[in-house]
Amino acid sequence: MSIMEINKGNFEAEVLKSDVPVLADFNAGWCGPCRAMKPMLEELAAGNPGYKIVSIDIDEEDELAEEYEVSSIPCLVVFKGGEEVNRSVGLIPKDAIADLVEG
């Protein structure tokens, strides 16, 4: 499974109405820690972990970033059943990313 790019138009269908947990990566292209985390997220997504990983560019989707109170990036938000259940801000190791979703 690959990382899906999310925008305001597909957020509800792909994140809030997903039948599997979703790890939403709020990021920006100019953010060094975001770029450092991207290969770890791609590796997790390639392993078909039983949850969906999506990417949300805060520069392009500032309404979503504001709605979910994302003030620092990278910001990982876990959604289950349409509700936020976990969050992490800043660069974290791959095993901590997996724990965030599974924990």
Instruction: For residue 34, indicate whether it is catalytic.
Output: yes
Catalytic site residue from 24, 34, 44, 45: 34
Catalytic site residue from 31, 56, 76, 101: 31
Q: Three-class SS of residue 56?
A: strand
Instruction: For residue 75, indicate whether it is catalytic.
Output: no
Angle at 89 (CA atoms; ends 32, 40), nearest 5 degrees: 55
CA-wise closest residue to 30 among 3, 59, 7: 59
> Does residue 93 have a cis bond before it (omega within 30 degrees)?
no
Q: Which amino acid is at 103?
A: G
What one-character DSSP code corresponds to residue 3?
Answer: P
Q: Which amino acid is at 22?
A: V
Residues marked active site are found at 31, 34
